[in-house]
Amino acid sequence: MNKSALTRSKANWLPFTVELEPRLTPPPGWFSWVLTIGMVIFALLIGALVIAFAGGNPWAAYSHIARSSFGSIGVLSDTLVKAIPLMIVGLACTIAFRMRIWNIGAEGQFFLGAFGASAVVLTPILPADSPQWLFILTMLIFGMAAGAIWGFIPGYLKAKFKVNEVISTLMLNYIAVSWNNYWIYAVWTEGGFQMSKMFPRNAWLPRLTDFADRVPAFGGLTVHFGLILALIAAVVVWLILYRSQWGYEIRVVGDNPPTANYAGIPIARNTVLVMMLSGALAGLAGMSEISGVVHRLQGAISPGYGYTGIIVAWLAKLNPFAVIPVAIFFGALILAGREIQPSGIPKMIQGIILVCLIASDFLMRYEIRIRRKGEA
């Protein structure tokens, strides 16, 4: 039995047949984006069916999600606050995935980044009356360094011993959370609760509302300086990937490892460096979250930013600039989770989108042909 027969529709009563054939040439560049948008719409329709099956009104639910996330300048500001860590973590995943290194450990690197930045305040490394710019710069360096160290471990294990990075990064996530919990409960706890003391104001990232005395329209807007850091990070990642020799090597290794090896590109060294950069970016996201939003180290600093960042990077097709709007979309879903009952609906939609995106990769490798019966 040949392969074509296996992929042919078995519905003999139909006047046509549906066949799947391997693509002999890569699809055009626009096809990937059209397919992605189509899969997101398809996922939303599936989510609507599930909501309707559960007795809810899907269109009212989607309308409420939109109003809760974009309905006013205030909620748009809150949406951007939720999107900031997703932007940075999405970039962290983008640069690793571009080299076909599956860094599933952004969640742990996020927590280590938060820990490293907190150590600047809680150890303390700087005196409490240090200027704000010095606090922020030092917390940024320590947060990124902690994330890079956490990324170095699976990178080195993969480069040196061929350890599967999916398993190692996933396991390191649990260790990172436990590490943070130890410090929160045992060393930096405030009154026995699962949180440290509040950081001094000069260790906070500036927010728009802090400038309300000069611009009254900024009053109540919580979006903070982390948004600027995320936009700068997007430009830096794009420059690295598409305007540098190192980025060229990353893309060659990701597209064709044997060719990269034949060309003398140091794959092992790049594996370690890319994992460190990916970890540093995820660590930056952790620093941004505790310095810009939480203002203390505590257990519940992430609703799964590290994992959602994977979906963001994949949905953005590993394009650093596309990560920004995709992260805002998912930030809206996270924010809407506070408003929608049951609150699991936004997470369910995220999961359906991820499944549809993974499934859509099939259509990048195969094409569907519909033929009338009797046609050759």
CATH number at residue 271: 1.10.3470
pLDDT digits (tens, 9 = 90+) for 231-275: 999 999 999 999 999 999 999 999 988 999 898 999 999 999 999
**Using an 8 Å Cβ cutoff, are 297 and 290 in contact?**
yes
Name the more confident of 345 and 114. Answer: 114
Q: Does 1 score more than 80 pLDDT?
A: no
pLDDT digits (tens, 9 = 90+) for 167-213: 999 999 999 999 999 999 889 988 878 889 999 999 999 999 999 88
What is the mean pLDDT of the segment spanning 58-71?
A: 85
Tokens of 342: 């049951």
Burial of 82 (0-12, 13-18, 19+ CB in 10 A): buried
In-domain check, residue 355: no
pLDDT digits (tens, 9 = 90+) for 123-160: 988 988 899 999 999 999 999 999 999 999 999 999 99
Q: Does 2 score more than 60 pLDDT?
A: no
* Phi, psi dihedrals of residue 33, rounded to the nearest 5°: -70, -40
What is the mean pLDDT of the segment spanning 276-289?
A: 97
In-domain check, residue 349: no
pLDDT band for position 62 (cuts 50, 70, 90): confident
In-domain check, residue 220: yes
User: How large a percentage of the chain has pLDDT more than 70?
Assistant: 94
What is the mean pLDDT of the segment spanning 10-29?
A: 73
Give the model's pLDDT for residue 10: 54
pLDDT band for position 57 (cuts 50, 70, 90): confident
User: How large a percentage of the chain has pLDDT more than 90?
Assistant: 55
Give the model's pLDDT for residue 8: 54
Q: Does 6 score more than 60 pLDDT?
A: no
Name the more confident of 15 and 84. Answer: 84
Give me the chain's average pLDDT, please.
88
Please name which of 335, 340, 350, 337 lies closest in space to residue 80, comparing C-alpha atoms. 335
Name the more confident of 351 and 376. Answer: 351
Distance CA 152, CA 155 (A): 5
What is the mean pLDDT of the segment spanning 35-53?
A: 86
Identify which of 10-14, 161-165, 339-343 has the greatest average pLDDT. Answer: 161-165
Q: Does 281 score more than 60 pLDDT?
A: yes
pLDDT digits (tens, 9 = 90+) for 287-328: 999 999 999 999 889 888 999 999 899 889 899 999 999 999
| DSSP H or E stretch at residue 331 | helix 323-336
Q: Does 32 score more than 50 pLDDT?
A: yes
pLDDT band for position 341 (cuts 50, 70, 90): low
In-domain check, residue 36: no
pLDDT band for position 280 (cuts 50, 70, 90): very high
In-domain check, residue 375: no
Distance CA 300, CA 294 (A): 9
Give the model's pLDDT for residue 11: 58
Give the model's pLDDT for residue 162: 92
Distance CA 43, CA 38 (A): 9
Distances 275 to 143, 158, 250, 256, 278 between C-alpha atoms, Å: 15, 10, 11, 19, 5
pLDDT band for position 343 (cuts 50, 70, 90): low
Parent domain of 290: 76-309+317-343
In-domain check, residue 39: no
Tokens of 141: 């360096």
| DSSP H or E stretch at residue 18 | strand 16-22
Give the model's pLDDT for residue 88: 97
In-domain check, residue 134: yes
pLDDT band for position 374 (cuts 50, 70, 90): low
In-domain check, residue 363: no
Our count of domains for the chain comes to: 1
